[in-house]
Amino acid sequence: MFGTKSFRQQFPIFQHHPNLVYLDSAATTQKPKMVIDGITNFYQKENANIHRGIYDLAAQTTQKYESVRQKVAEFIGAKHQSEIVYTSGTTASINLVAHSFLLPRLEQGDEVLVSAMEHHANLIPWQMACKQKGAHLRVIPIDQAGNIDLAAYKKMLSAKVKMVAVVHISNTLATINPIEAMIEMAHQKGIPILIDGAQSTAHSPIDVASLDCDFFTFSGHKIFGPTGIGVLYGKATHLAAMSPYQFGGDMIRTVTYQDATYAPAPQKFEAGTTNIAGVIGLGHAIDFLQQFDKKAIALFVKELGAYAREKLLSLNDLTIIGNAQHKTGIVSFVLNNVHPHDVATFLGTANIAIRAGHHCTQPLMDFYEIPATSRASFSIYNNRAEIDFLVDEIKGIQSFFAV
Ligand code: PLP
């Protein structure tokens, strides 16, 4: 049923663009009607600010906003809803941890570990923290195929390491990292670990309690929800020990001209009027996803990726970047003598939407000694016919540039 014509009807974008072949879901997913309607309905019938008004509308909106927190907690297997912090997205979640959790603990000469395949969002916040404190950011190596070097990682986990931050699924290579093992290895040395789940939350069953990660982050817009809303999961003990990152309304307990005391987590991290409609939309996105078996989604997307790889590999003068043992429905490739931007532009004229560039992983491009790749990424509304069309159009590009 995924990828069929009737399934695609749940996504209004395909009615407005009947010929659109959307292969850029790693950048952002398309939105189901029930999410769009849920947000419209909220603004039309339920709009009020939260945690403030005592009139009915405000009370109901507050109740709905908080019930989504419980929904998120269940969705990712958190023990308690107070471990769920609303943020504007994965980037904001990671910045919050780098600022409020790591910085106060980090000292000169300490180390922070990230992998060689991190998105800039899971690299620069740690880089900045290390620069501020005279600490060192160390990079867990990968092999040419895009597998993390677990033996090297094990050796790097010394007493100097104050934090590990690693991506669950690489947005560029498609690698599914062995996060269970990485979490366990970090914890054996008493080191906290953050998992960047931006690319995994839509496609993989996530259970933060059994994973036992210290922090987990994801963005609403990559799981069929709206932009501008995301989640930071943090273990209750960590969130309790962390100071707020931003200050203002709705995050306090008491305030005088001289001083303030703060609300407990998660409220102390949600200063000001938050993205209420975004939270409502996120709740609908989770309802949408919960209709399906997460393992079935993961398998469908993985199989589309495998099919695309197989077809692309039949072409000459094409190299796939990212051939790890465990991977999902993302395929990065380069064509000999054709720049990825030209590939994306040509495909765009055929209504095929792919991404070309460094995918916010510039150091990874340096590792492969390439400036950019073309990337097709798949989701539940895609199908094999679209991949066949993609491959035919790439053949066309190759013969055009061969002239
Ligand atoms: N991490 C990964 C692996 C990503 O793919 C992305 C976005 O593409 C991010 C982090 C940042 O997510 P956002 O831009 O939603 O904050």
User: Is residue 364 within 6 Å of ligand 1 at its C-beta?
Assistant: no
User: Is residue 177 within 6 Å of ligand 1 at its C-beta?
Assistant: no
Q: How far, CA to CA in Å, does 78 sit from each of 22, 52, 91, 213, 280? A: 32, 27, 20, 11, 19
Q: Which residues of the chain fall below pLDDT 70?
A: 403
What would the pLDDT profile of 8-65 be if each residue is shown by its tens digit?
Answer: 999 999 999 999 999 999 999 999 999 999 999 999 999 999 988 889 999 999 999 9
The CA 199 to ligand 1 mean position distance, Å, reads 7
For the chain, what is the radius of gyration of the CA atoms? 22
What would the pLDDT profile of 150-208 be if each residue is shown by its tens digit?
Answer: 999 999 999 999 999 999 999 999 999 999 999 999 999 999 999 999 999 998 999 99
* CA of 360, closest atom in ligand 1: 8
Other beta carbons less than 10 A from residue 38's beta carbon: 22
User: Is residue 197 within 6 Å of ligand 1 at its C-beta?
Assistant: no
pLDDT at 124: 98
* CA of 91, closest atom in ligand 1: 16
The residues annotated with a catalytic role in the active site are: 360
Helix extents (H) in 97-149 = 124-133
pLDDT at 403: 59
Question: What are the structural domains, with CATH classification, of the chain?
Answer: 5-23+294-402 (3.90.1150.10), 35-289 (3.40.640.10)
Q: Where are the beta strands (DSSP E) in 129-276?
A: 136-140, 161-167, 193-196, 215-219, 230-234, 252-255, 260-262
Protein residue whose Cα sits closest to atom 14 of ligand 1: 91
Rounded CA separation 308/294 (Å): 21
* CA of 227, closest atom in ligand 1: 15
Written as six digits, the tokens of 242 are 């962390």
User: Is residue 219 within 6 Å of ligand 1 at its C-beta?
Assistant: yes
Contact 82, 266 (CB under 8 A): yes
Rounded CA separation 258/292 (Å): 52
Q: Which among 45, 22, 6, 7 has a CA at the least distance from the CA of 292? A: 7
Rounded CA separation 354/344 (Å): 6
User: Is residue 125 within 6 Å of ligand 1 at its C-beta?
Assistant: no
Rounded CA separation 125/120 (Å): 8
Is the pTM value of this prediction over 0.95?
A: yes
